[in-house]
Structure 1
Amino acid sequence: MATTTDPVPGAGTRTGKGIADTFLPGDADGAAPRYPLRTTVMGIVGSVLVLIASFGAAGVLVHDPILSDGPLSWIRFGHGQVLMTGLLYVGFGLVVWAWIRLGRYVLAGRVGTRPVVIAALSWMAPLLAAPPLFTRDVYSYLGQGAQLLHGLDPYAYGPSALQTLPTVVENVHPLWQTTPAPYGPLFLWVSKSIVGITGDNVIAGVIVTRLVLLAGLAAVLWALPRLVRRLGGNLPVTMWLAVASPMMVIHLVGGPHNDLLMLGFLTVGVLAALERKHAVAIVLVTIGMLIKPTAAIALPFLVWIWANHLPADKNLFRRFLTAVTPSVGIFGAVFVLGTWASLGSFNLGWFAGLSAPQIIVNWLNFPSGVGEAVHTLVKTVVDVPPAPFIDVARGLGWLVLAAIVVRQWWLARNGTENTTIFRMGIALLTVAIFAPPTLPWYLTWGFVILSLFRWKREHLAAVVGISVFLVLVYYPTGEQSLYHWLFILGVVAASVYASASLLKPDPLGLVAAWRKPDVRDPELPLNSPTSHATR
């Protein structure tokens, strides 16, 4: 976890050309003017392989107008699909490998911010044209937008109730065909606008959705450097962790997921609060909530920042009242106007829609996993259904979640800006883990905020393993693999190996068995006496 006493070094200028990568001059930010060319190209190759394979192995259309009956239709079925799935995992492996190598260079102070951002964007670019990766949620976005476009309340009905735009509707996952929308009204308006442009052309709808969501990425890229300067983090590490991560490249962009747009408003809103533009901060984060309700978790923390920016001659209670009163007023105005403008009426049906995703039950959500584990033990003695165990565990999980979030908020009352934002990140991460359901990309809520602080190497290595795991626990088609235990065993092994690789290149000695190390090699372990890493 992030820590304010992190030994991760700042970017230095010590360089050296090894046999594992080629570095070119050109970083203008003054941190470490080197580009890891081969590592960046490795990730691009991996991303292109993912793109090619995705047409047969990812969340493809039910009836693809291009591939279903053409000469390439074989890649969607039988052995062809198996081949494409294998190729996609190879491409993903190359992206992860490149990301880990890039991380080692960042931790060694050999590359600065610009090379990390360039690498991340170049890995994302091929995926803009890919079918949805490791999810089918974007089809639900389009289906719900189509409902709103054609006058059908997406908070009262699922997409299957829509009689028009059959191609859009048929590609919505069966689980969500009859489920009301769980998203904020502003995002439904965004989806409605996209479908208004692309109509029943789902391929165009997916691509345009990605392009719209890139506005969130642009906002994150603009806000993170300014936030890091205020909070004392390490900018290359932040960009590597928040932007170049497979969680961002594969899940939020490759998915794509509307969490990216919400994070854009959240990060810019947090920056506005730190710059004492408190009204603007409340407006921006409330808009983020109108996209995805999770952003609401940040609002109470922004009130503390406002209160702590007030003159210290007032006691805490008076400062809190002075800050919370306009905050509630601003929130209420933006909430009402945003809802009305998005839906054409003050429709609060989306609060009921928030319960819809809870039909997803898997052990990735901690309380659900506890309930399933207890049920498994009890079932060895007596045959009982799992639902009561899961319901009780989830009920207790809500209590634990409330206690943790309230405690984090209360502990932030007299804290510095760093403390308040850090506790906000903990709260967002806790919500992702304890509030059902837990979907892999939900953890980006907390990861992006916590990336603003300094991290210990060991904790960064843990995040590497978690990130790889959170991509692979879903199949490229968007179906979960969580109960295919042999597959999960392989996922865990790959995740642990990726985690260890950040701290020590080739941790199992697979390369050393046939290649003699070069003392100039930037792939040497970080703790090697001949390494260029700083401490």
Structure 2
Amino acid sequence: MTAQPSSPVDRSEPPDRVVAAPAGAPRQAPTWRARLGAPPRGPLLLGLTGSLLMVLGGFGAAGVLVDDPLLTNSPLGFWRYGHGREIANSLIYLGVGLLAWAWVRLGRDVLARRVGGRAVLTTASVWLLPMLVSPPLFTRDPYSYLAQGALPLNGFDPYAVGPEVLPGVFTDNVHYFWQDTPAPYGPLFILLAKAVSWLAVDQIILGVVLMRLTLLVGLVLLVRALPELSRRMGGRPSLALWIVVANPVMVIHMVGGVHNDLLVMGLLATAALAALRGQHAWGIVLATLAMAVKASAGVALPFLVLVWAAAMAGPVLARTLRATAYGIAIFVPVFALCTFAAGVGLGWLPALSAPSMIVNWMSLPTGAGQLVHSVVSIFGPVPMQPFVNVGRAIGALILLVIAVRQWWAARDGGPDAIRRAGIVLLAVALLSPTMLPWYVSWGMALLAMVDWTPRALQILVFFSLWLMIVYYPDGEAALYDLAVLGIGAALAALAAVSLLRPDPLGLARRPVGADPVVR
């Protein structure tokens, strides 16, 4: 019998401390706070304040429009220039800090089991709400999405040309780096981008809001799949919600930044849950749709095949071959249908190399190549690209070894195969030629649901918060700004320690004991 879908609530953990009413007392209807799981007021209001500050500052210092119809040539235009922009920028960073502090405080409550899934979800929803009307934060990607959607509407192949061939308000706001770059996204996303661009016409603010609302479908899918998927994979739903939904990376980068990786997350999590429920064909369909948004999601497909094979009878090889054949028989028509509906071909495959034009050290192989080049350059000037190319080639080999080993180790299927799929997706993000902060979401869509140790959670806090400052609010890279990176790393480390030690610097007048960590 197929399990019934669960609601996005952690039913295994009582969200509130309930005091029993005296015997014979009339039963009262639960208050709204009780129904929502009594979200902790301190973190909720602190994070909301942070979100509001980021939105306010975003209108002056985020990925703002070249020609803003609301602010340009208005009394509020100062907010985009000079001292006004500096103040706006400061508000964004202050908002990031407040949201980070709120997230850590919420994490303490989750670890101590003072709050459950309802409270975490309610708190995260309040933090996310202001982001619905925010300018793109720490990126300009949604303008590229809109321009790529407008290209096929005007007879251009988005896999052959860049936005620059179609002058207009969408193209004017695309980052200069991507003006002549074909779209590296799958046909399903091109179809969605076409629809949004058609609805928005030339109203770019409306287009950004519509694109954000479209991608929020991914968040809804993720939240719906998360509780049951967590229980099947050995994790705690409330902790998983804190890790992946309340995370500042989700609030600021995924929703505030309007990245299509959010849709990939929801489709992957739902595909994994379908596979574990025994709905294997549906799981392949959903994972194929995720790949039709971003090719990297296709890494999960071989692991879903192993989950299917484990449910069959017969020798391992025969089961695996049979499940593979079934998977291909589903994948091909689903992907072909997406391609036909989008009205595009397979030109997106060569366009996948576009992100590799970005050279930054967040990609471990690229960073290794840059480091070796820096050392060699001490002895004389040499070009950097050959070192980067060698580093990337070695990284690709390492990634292949990791993927094969994890796939072979997952041959028994079940939740372990899903966990290993998450590991490989995370490895893809770290070892690909280019790494951007929101790429870690691919693996976290599955790994958030496993059993986390307190030490691993501290590492998660550090990197989640540090990823917030490797780009400036306007979308330009801050990867070589040592002051920003150093201060950010120090504050992220302090936050990581304070997850388990509420007063790591000993500033309280009275000693503050660490919250109990219940696993």
**Which TM-score band applies after superposition, normalised by the shorter structure?**
over 0.9
Instruction: Please list the CA deviations of residues 375-433 of structure 1 after superposition, one character each: whole Å capped at 9, or x if unmatched.
Output: 00000001011111001111111111111111111111125x12111110100000000
Conserved 8 A contact 1:186-1:290? yes
Match of residue 270 from structure 1: 272
3-state SS in 2 of match to 1:276: coil
Q: How many Å separate the matches in 1 of 2:125 and 2:146?
A: 25
Q: Are the counterparts in 1 of residues 15 and 118 from structure 2 also a CA contact under 8 Å?
A: no
Does structure 1 residue 112 correspond to structure 2 residue 109?
no
What corresponds to 1:284 in structure 2? 286
Residues 383 and 16 of structure 1: CA distance in aligned 2, closer, same or farther (over 3 Å): farther
Matches within 5 A, 1:24-423: 26-27=33-34, 34-163=38-167, 166-311=168-313, 314-343=314-343, 345=344, 347-415=345-413, 417-423=414-420
Corresponding residue for 2:482?
A: 485
Structure 2 distance, partners of 1:45, 1:525, is 27
Matched residues in 2 for 1:27 and 1:309: separation?
41
User: Partner of 1:471 in structure 2?
Assistant: 468
TM-score (norm 1): 0.90
- Aligned-pair Cα RMSD in Å: 1.7
Amino acid of the structure 1 residue aligned with 2:433: P
Alignment deviations for residues 48-80 of structure 1 (CA, whole Å, 9 cap, x no partner): 111111001100001111112111111111111
Distance 2:360 2:277 in 1: 41
Aligned-residue offset at 1:16 = 11
Letter in 2 for 1:335: F
Residues matched between the structures, number: 497
Q: Counterparts in 2 of 1:496-507, with a 5 A limit?
A: 496-507=493-504
Percent of pairs with identical residues: 46
Distance in 1, Cα, partners of 2:360 & 2:488: 16
Residue 291 of structure 1 aligns to which amino acid in structure 2? V
User: Alpha-carbon deviations, 1:213-242, whole Å to 9, x = none?
Assistant: 111111001111121122221111000001
Matched to 2:100, the amino acid is: V
Do 1:141 and 1:191's aligned partners in 2 also have CA atoms closer than 8 Å? yes
State how far apart, in whole Å, the 2-side matches of 1:193 and 1:12 are.
43
Deviates more, 1:299-308 or 1:499-508: 499-508
Shift of 1:534: 4.0
Distance (whole Å) between structure 1 residues aligned to residue 16 and residue 185 of structure 2: 48
CA distance in 1, matches of 2:18, 2:478: 43
Q: Which amino acid aligns with 1:429?
A: L
TM-score for both structures, normalised by structure 2: 0.93
1:440 aligns with 2:442: no
Cα contact 1:429–1:443 (8 A) shared by 2? yes
Tell me the secondary structure at the aligned position of residue 35 of structure 1: coil
* CA 1:490–1:78: 2 relative to 1, 3 Å: same
Q: Counterpart in 1 of 2:28?
A: none
Q: Judge conservation of contact 1:405–1:427 (CA < 8 Å) in 2.
A: yes
Measured after TM superposition, the shift of residue 310 of structure 1 is 1.0
Distance 1:309 1:28 in 2: 39
Q: 2: CA distance between counterparts of 1:426 and 1:95?
A: 27
Mapped to 2, the partners of 1:16 and 1:325 lie a distance apart of 53
Quote the Cα distance in structure 1 between the aligned partners of 2:517 and 2:298: 41
| Distance in structure 1 (CA, Å) of the matches to 2:134 and 2:284 | 35
The structure, 1 or 2, with the larger RCO (C-alpha pairs under 8 Å, 6+ apart) is 1
* Structure 1: runs of 5+ lacking an equivalent: 1-9, 18-23, 518-523
Are the counterparts in 1 of residues 268 and 286 from structure 2 also a CA contact under 8 Å? yes
For the structure 1 residues 405 and 533, does the alpha-carbon distance in structure 2 shift closer, same or farther, using more than 3 Å as the test?
Answer: closer
* Residues in 2 aligned to 1:287 and 1:13: alpha-carbon distance in whole angstroms: 35
Q: CA deviation at 1:11?
A: 4.3
Q: Secondary structure at the match of 1:471?
A: coil
1:375/1:410 CA distance change after superposition, 3 Å: same
Shift of 1:14: 8.4
Seen in structure 2, the aligned counterparts of structure 1 residues 384 and 533 have a Cα distance that, compared at 3 Å, is closer
Query: SS where residue 292 of structure 2 aligns?
Result: helix
Offset at residue 264 of structure 1 (A) = 1.3
Aligned mates of 2:437, 2:495 — CA distance in 1: 17
Instruction: Give the 3-state SS of the residue equivalent to 1:151 in structure 2.
Output: coil
Name the aligned partner's letter for residue 332 of structure 1. V
State the distance in 2 between where 1:141 and 1:13 align. Answer: 40
Equivalent residue letter for 2:501: K
Cα separation, partners in 2 of 1:390 and 1:234, compared to 1, 3 Å: same
Per-residue CA deviation, residues 244-281 of structure 1 (Å, 9 max, x unaligned), is: 00111111100010011111111111111111111111
Is 2:454 the counterpart of 1:452? no
Task: Give the partner amino acid of 2:332.
Answer: G
What residue number does 2:7 align with?
Answer: none
Question: Could you report, residue by residue, the CA deviation over 1:263-302 in whole angstroms, capped at 9, with x for unpaired residues?
Answer: 1111111111111111111111101111111110000000
The question of whether the paired residues in 2 share the 8 Å contact of 1:11 and 1:110 is answered with no
Tell me, what secondary structure is at the counterpart of 1:291? coil
Structure 1 residues 534 and 302, CA gap change in structure 2 (3 angstroms): closer
Residue by residue over 1:426-461, the C-alpha shift from the partner in whole angstroms, topping out at 9 and shown as x without a partner, is 000000000121000000111221111110011101
- 1:287, 1:363 → 2: CA distance? 31
CA distance in 2, matches of 1:85, 1:328: 49
1:351-392, Cα deviation, whole Å (9 max, x unpaired): 011001100000000000000000000000010111110011
Which amino acid in 2 is paired with 1:223?
A
String of CA shifts for 1:280-336, please: whole Å, max 9, x gaps: 11111101111111110000000000000112xx11011112211111111111111
Over 3 Å counting, the alpha-carbon distance change for 1:119 and 1:13 in structure 2 is: closer
- Residue segments in structure 2 that go unaligned for 5+ positions in a row: 1-11, 20-30
Aligned-pair distance for 1:484? 1.1
